[in-house]
Structure formats: C-alpha cells, structure tokens
Structure 1
Amino acid sequence: MSAQAINIGINESDRLDIATGLSRLLADSYTLYLKTHYYHWNVTGPMFNTLHLMFETQYNELALAVDLIAERIRALGVYAPGTYLEFAKLTVIAEDTDVPKAQEMIKNLVAGQEAVVRTARSLFSVVEKANDEASADLLTQRIQLHEKTAWMLRSLLE
C-alpha cells in the first residue's frame, strides 16, 4: 500500500524546499536550546540567580518551539531531522568548548538568537512564493520571539 498523496495546495518541490529550510531552523533552534540549557546549569557570578532563571525560561520556550517546527516539517510530508549529527550539519550556531563567564554566555546567546532570526527570515521568499501561510505564520512568531529575547539579553550587557 502506498502513502496517500499530499494535496494541500503547495507543490512537492516547494514543500521540499520549505522543509529543508525549516530543518535548518529546527537545527539552529535545537542547538540554541542545548547551549541555553548548558549555560543555565553552569552560570556563576553575581548575576547567577537572574541568569539561571532567565536561561531556564528561554530553554523551556525553545523546547516547545522545536516541536512546533518539527511538526510543521512533518505536515509538509517530510521527516524532521532529530539527531546531533544531523543538527551539527544543518546549524550555524557553534558549540562551546568550555564554560564561558556569564557576560560571554549572554553575548553568545545574543548571537544565537540573532542567528535563528536570520535563518527564519531567509525562508520567507520560498514560503511566500508557495503561498504557505502556515509556515509564514510560524516564521513570523519565531522571529518576533527571538528578536525580543536578543534585545532582553543585550540589555543585560549595558
């Protein structure tokens, strides 16, 4: 028995292109989740309590976001990546090789948040061409949240 064809008003080529882009967004988001969780566990210094709680809020939000992104990829008829190996190939966010000081953690997370924004923003041309409003809505929400989070983190550096 063959799988039923997907007929959601987006042709297969566009669905594959969108899913490929969303896979990069998923990898960036999951890598940022890992980095934020790592910092939550290991932050020290006078801003410990503030950063510990802030990082927890951020990684919890990212944990929910990766599920939404992966489910959108599946709705487009493509399997979502889900291994460290796949994410490492797809992400632009670098892993840490040590435990940075709190200020460096904040700077790294600003860069990570902004990287996710750039990845999300880069997908709009294919999403709009395909009239994929659901993916466009997801991207808009991700951009808005990551831009706000980057601003809040940057504010700690002033």
Structure 2
Amino acid sequence: MAKKKTAGVDLGIDEKQRKAIAAGLSTLLADTYTLYLKTHNYHWNVTGPQFNTLHLMFETQYNELALAVDLIAERIRALDEFAPGSYSAFAKLSSVKEADGVPTAEAMIRELAADQLAVVRTARAVFPLADAAHDEPTADLLTQRMQVHEKTAWMLRAMVA
C-alpha cells in the first residue's frame, strides 16, 4: 500500500529541510522507542539487592520515554511527514540495540546509561538541521530531550561509579 501524500502545509521551512528534519526525528523516535522497550524489559527482569530501587527507577524512566515518543511522533506529523511506527522500522533506524538475554543489574545500569547518551547524540545530530531551518519547535523539543537524557545518564552512571 502506497503512502498517501498529506494535504501539505507551508510552515516556512524549505521542503528539503523539512524532510531532513523529519528523517532525523524518525531516528530519534526509533532510538527513544527502543530505549523505552529496553528500560521496560529491565524493569520487569531486574534482580538483586538493588531490586526495589532499580525497579522503581526504571518505571519512572520508561514512563517518561512513553510520553516522549508521542511528542516526537507528533512533531514529525506537524512537519507533514509520516512517523515510523513498527518494530521493523525502528530496528532499521535505531542506534540503541535491544538487550540480549537478562544482564546483571549493574550491566543493565551501564547499558541504559550508554543508551541514554546514544539518544543524546541522535538528538544533537538533528539540531543543526532544525537550527538552519529556523525550526524553533523542533529545536525546543531536541533541547528538552537532550536535557532529560543527559540527566538520566548521569544518574545511572552515579549508581555504578
């Protein structure tokens, strides 16, 4: 089934720039969704002396990520492009890799900290595109996402320092 062209909208952003920004946001969406899934998996499967702390921390994190995927997907749609929405599409786009098995609690923390920073790098790579196009709503979204992921990575790293 071919994608239907949306109605088209003049946002004051060049079409090529708009499509490039949406493509970058699609990668950010894939990274965020994959991190959401991985964090939720670790929430379910963490064991050990830090169980309660990590179980609750991972729940807080995956709930925040669930809200973020909606914001990112809606920004893609506001740019008049379609958001990816399948596991196969996310797997092709994401720099965050799924968990292999059930790692130790410390390995979970280290992996999630690294993955949070991977999402920061993806967001940071999209920022110059949004900046060049004077796309302030996307720049604002990216800034907010980088702040959240940098802080979360720091908090995770502090647990295994």
1:143 paired to 2:140: no
Q: Which residue number in structure 2 is paired with residue 85 of structure 1?
A: 88
Which of 31, 37, 40 does residue 37 from structure 1 map onto?
A: 40
Counterparts of 1:36-75 in structure 2 under 5 Å?
A: 36-75=39-78
- Gaps spanning 5+ residues in structure 2: where? none
**How far apart are the structure 2 equivalents of 1:24 and 1:143?**
14
Amino acid at match of 1:22: L
Return the offset for 1:3.
Answer: 5.1
Are 2:42 and 2:58, in contact at CA under 8 Å, matched by a contact in 1?
A: yes
Q: How many residues align?
A: 157
Larger mean Cα displacement after TM superposition, 42-51 or 5-14? 5-14
**How far apart are the structure 1 equivalents of 2:81 and 2:11?**
14
**How far apart are the structure 2 equivalents of 1:101 and 1:140?**
32
Q: Find the residue that maps to 1:68 and give its secondary structure.
A: helix
1:115-149, Cα deviation, whole Å (9 max, x unpaired):
00000001111111100000000000000000000
Return the offset for 1:11.
Answer: 1.4
Q: Which residue number in structure 2 is paired with residue 8 of structure 1?
A: 11
TM-score where L is the length of structure 2:
0.95
Which of 24, 28, 31 does residue 25 from structure 1 map onto?
A: 28
Structure 1: 4+ residue segments shifted above 2 A: 2-5
Q: Which residue number in structure 2 is paired with residue 155 of structure 1?
A: 158
Return the offset for 1:97.
Answer: 1.7
- Gaps spanning 5+ residues in structure 1: where? none
1:17-57, Cα deviation, whole Å (9 max, x unpaired):
00000000000000000000000000000000000000000
Q: Give the RMSD, CA atoms, in angstroms.
A: 1.0
